[in-house]
Every structure is written in C-alpha cells, then in structure tokens.
C-alpha cells in the first residue's frame, strides 16, 4: 500500500463510489454550464444581466447573428439544465462556440486569453464533453429512455 492509496476496505466506508462521484460531477458540469450559458442568452434576448453589449436593457436584434446566438444560448441552456436532447444540443452549441471563436476572437490575433476567446473555447470543451458523454443518469434523457425500455 502506498501513502496515496486507501486500504482495500476503506472504499466500502466512503459514502460514494468513484463512479458515483464521476456521475455527480458530470451532472454538476452539465447543469452549471447550462445555467451560465442561459444567462448569455437572456442578456442578448431580454437585456438582463447588464444588457446586450453592456448597455442596460438593450437587446440584440432577433434577426441577426447575435439574436440567433441568444436563442441558441437560451434554449440550449434550458435543455442542458434539464438534460433533454443533451447530445444534439451539445453538438449545436459546440458549433456555435467554435464559430464565435473563429469569426470574432481569432481574427483579433494572439492567444485566446489575449483576444477574449478563452470563454468560447472553454464552453466548446464542455460541450464536446457533453456530446461524448451524454446527459447522465440525473437527466430527463435518462428518465425517458428508462421509461421507453420498460414499456410504460
């Protein structure tokens, strides 16, 4: 036994297994990212949280790229929070964040931390994770799949 490992029987005394902790962590990531992403959409569509482009109460024109981004962020954020259609939503939002980085931030040059693109890339990484892993057990996706499998 190394100083970093637990005795064999110690894992039985832990309240959660490693797999259970991973599931909880993935759920926290999905819900947290959805809630934070939702705020970006509400800012663009409804002028909340300081308003669009930092102007209190200002909104993005609905029929614009920023308006479309606001719709994707609002609807996508809500769907991620409840864990419904998580993989398709993550795919679309991953595309949105890569598009935002490539069209808005990358042309400004420098590293992402210099051109303001680190948040778009961080969201892209989170959405890539959700695309690969799905919504997890604590989600509407899982409930609906379980219901379909049981035939009820």
User: Which pTM does this prediction carry?
Assistant: 0.84
Residue 4 lies in a domain: no
Computed over every residue of the chain, the mean pLDDT equals 89
> For position 7, what pLDDT does the model report?
53
Question: What string of DSSP letters covers 89-128?
Answer: HHHHHHHHHHHHIIIIIGGG-S-HHHHT-HHHHHHHHHHH
Least confident of 2-6, 57-61, 95-99, 103-107: 2-6
Q: Residue 8: its pLDDT value, please?
A: 58
At residue 53 the predicted structure's pLDDT band, cuts being 50, 70 and 90, is: confident
pLDDT above 90: residue 14:
no
Domain of 99, in residue numbers: 17-150
Average of per-residue pLDDT across 7-15: 57
Residue 43 counted as domain residue = yes
Residue 12 lies in a domain: no
Of residues 124 and 9, the one with the higher pLDDT is: 124
Query: Please, what's the largest Cα pairwise distance for the chain?
Result: 63
Among candidate residues 117, 85, 115, the one with its CA nearest the CA of residue 99: 117
Give tens-digit pLDDT for 73-125. Answer: 999 999 999 999 999 999 999 999 999 999 999 999 999 999 999 999 999 99
Query: Does any domain span residue 89?
Result: yes
Within-domain flag for 111: yes
Domain count, the chain: 1
Residue 5 belongs to some domain of the structure = no
Burial track 86-116 (b if 16+ CB lie within 10 A, e otherwise): beebbebbbebbbebbeeebeeeeeebeebe
Do the beta carbons of residue 66 and residue 106 sit within 8 Å? no
Is 72 domain-assigned? yes
Q: Which long-range contacts (CB under 8 A, 24 or more apart) does 86-89 make?
A: 86/30, 86/130, 86/134, 86/135, 86/139, 86/141, 87/130, 87/131, 87/134, 87/135, 89/130
Mean pLDDT, rounded, for 116-138: 96
- Give the whole-angstrom CA distance, residue 51 versus residue 55: 5
Q: Is residue 1 part of a domain?
A: no
């Amino acid at each position: 036994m190394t100083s970093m490992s637990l005795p064999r029987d110690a894992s039985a005394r832990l309240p959660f297994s490693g797999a259970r902790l991973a599931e909880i962590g993935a759920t926290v990531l999905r819900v947290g990212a959805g809630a934070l992403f939702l705020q970006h959409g509400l800012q663009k569509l409804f002028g909340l949280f300081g308003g669009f482009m930092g102007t209190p109460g200002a909104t993005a024109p609905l029929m614009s790229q920023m308006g479309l981004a606001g719709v994707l962020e609002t609807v996508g954020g809500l769907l991620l929070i409840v864990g419904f259609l998580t993989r398709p939503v993550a795919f679309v939002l991953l595309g949105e964040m890569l598009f935002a980085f490539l069209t808005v931030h990358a042309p400004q040059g420098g590293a992402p931390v210099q051109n303001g693109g680190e948040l778009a890339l961080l969201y892209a990484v989170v959405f890539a994770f959700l695309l690969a892993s799905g919504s997890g057990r604590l989600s509407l996706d899982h409930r609906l799949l379980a219901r379909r499998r049981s035939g009820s």
